[in-house]
Structure 1
């Protein structure tokens, strides 16, 4: 009988791949910044794709929920997406054309 002793590794998608306008996001860099309280929450207003891959977001226009300030951030600055109000993302990227 063969037994597989390999370690299962699951690579999760980057959280920014599923962000759409209206979503709430946590912006704050790495884990050290979050533990120090150096993070903020914002609501996404607009998603901008890159020149090479226009369907993959590279910049977000985000409104800070505390101050109301509107900021442009790089997509990799999003450390988490708040899914509790709108459910989990589908398995396909958000920029897939809607069938209708």
Structure 2
């Protein structure tokens, strides 16, 4: 069995990291529409709310799959991270 002894890749600066790395359940996102077989090609994107985040095999803390509920229809879909176009942060205004 071979072992990789190369150093790990350097971390990217926070401004150039993909937006999906900081996703948490409850956040709202814009998702590129990836139609299922037999589904109409009537839209380019949809908006949804993150229900669940799932990690990958290499690093369980790096989210790669998400369960997202479509805000228009209520349908919950599994979405790959590469389909997330934009993250709309949740309201963090904590006025007392």
Any unmatched runs of 5+ in structure 1? 1-9, 30-36, 88-100
Runs of 4+ in 1 over 4 A off after TM superposition: none
Equivalenced residues, count: 72
TM-score (norm 2): 0.67
TM-score, length of structure 1 as denominator length: 0.64
Q: Any gaps of 5 or more consecutive residues in structure 2? A: 1-13, 34-42
1:27 to 25, 31, 43: 31
Residue number in structure 1 paired with 2:21: 17
RMSD (CA atoms): 2.3
Partner of residue 78 from structure 2, selected from 40, 50, 72: 72
Task: Assess, with a 3 A threshold, how the Cα gap between structure 1 residues 22 and 84 changes in structure 2: closer, same or farther.
Answer: closer
